Amino acid sequence: MIDNNPPPCVIFSHGKEGTPWGSKIQRLAEVAQGCGYRVESPDFRDLAGAERRVARLLQSIPPHHSGLVLVGSSMGGYQSLVASAQLRPKGLFLLAPAIGMETGEYAQLDPVPHATRVAIVHGWNDDVVQPDKVIAYARRHTIPLTLYPDGHRLLHVIDEIAWLFSRFLATLPG
């Protein structure tokens, strides 16, 4: 039986070295569930390369939901951006997204976001994804950007990020 009123869904995409239910995702999943969202966090650890992870993300979307939000950290941020071209989610919430990475793992240096609303959170002290690249990306695509005095993992500011995420979800249309 198909639910005629399924809840909206948040799909988390962890980073290259992350796990599907790491501490950051657990904290943000609590926020999403508190806002009435179903949450999913696919496991990408067995896949090398961002493009194969994008394909799995596209296959992981539940068939029935009343709205989609993609949340991605690092390589997962890249995955969410690229997948947004096909999925057209209500929201994209990106944490230290791996953009402008000039390695063979990423086919696109400047993936265009396709969502009703987009936000980026990044660390001033990120030594994996340079803040200057993210600032330039946010400027090019006119995306709200919040910078914190933290590194790539953003673990010292998780409470602040959780608050931003709750505000982000609360202001999505529909």
User: Could you report the per-residue pLDDT of 106-136, keeping only the tens digit for each?
Assistant: 999 899 999 999 999 999 999 999 999 999 9
Helix (H, G, I), strand (E, B) or coil at 112: coil
2: in domain: no
Helix axis angle, 75-87 relative to 50-59, nearest 10°? 50
Give the model confidence (pLDDT) of 17-49 as tens digits: 999 999 999 999 999 999 999 999 999 999 988
pLDDT at 102 (0 to 100): 83
Question: CA-to-CA distance for 11 and 92, rounded, in angstroms?
Answer: 10
Domain that holds residue 52: 9-170
CATH number at residue 116: 3.40.50.1820
Task: For the chain, state the CA radius of gyration.
Answer: 15
109: in domain: yes
pLDDT at 5 (0 to 100): 77
Average pLDDT, the chain: 94
25, with CB counted inside 10 A (0-12, 13-18, 19+), is buried
Residue 27's CB is within 10 A of a number of other CB atoms, namely 15
Question: CA-to-CA distance for 114 and 104, rounded, in angstroms?
Answer: 23
Banded model confidence at residue 84, pLDDT cuts 50, 70, 90: very high
3: in domain: no
Strand partners, 40: 11
- State pTM to two decimals: 0.95
Cα angle for residues 132, 26, 99 (degrees, 5° grid): 20
8 Å CB contact between 8 and 61: no
The total domain count for the chain is 1
